[in-house]
Amino acid sequence: MKYLLLFCNNSQDLAAWQELSEEDRAQKRVQASQWIHEHRSQIRKSYGLHLPHTVTSVHVGSGGQPLVTDGPFLEGTEVIGG
């Protein structure tokens, strides 16, 4: 059996992350990397997503007009990192 684990945050959590010093963010990344390393035997792949404000997608909308949306992700109010 396989599972998908997503870490979900809202916009307030993202703002709090961005307010951390670079040193604090680096420490949090180290902690996350240690957790992944400790559970490596159960984890097949791990990927991170770009922040929502950095990505856009262009699709053909109704009437053949271009439709520009945020990211290649589902629309929602939560921020998802994997």
Q: How far apart are CA 27 and CA 20, in angstroms?
A: 10
Nearest Cα residue to 48 out of 25, 27, 29, 21: 29
* Dihedral sign computed on CA atoms, order 31, 37, 40, 44: positive
CA distances from 1 to 4, 6, 7, 17, 42 (A): 10, 17, 20, 33, 11
Please tell me the CATH superfamily of domain 7-81, with its number: Dimeric alpha+beta barrel (3.30.70.1060)
Q: How far apart are CA 50 and CA 82, in angstroms?
A: 10
- How do residues 63-79 score in pLDDT, each as one tens digit? 888 888 766 555 555 66
Where do the structural domains in the chain lie, given as residue ranges?
7-81
- How do residues 17-62 score in pLDDT, each as one tens digit? 999 999 999 999 899 889 888 988 888 777 777 776 777 777 787 8
8-state DSSP, 57: E
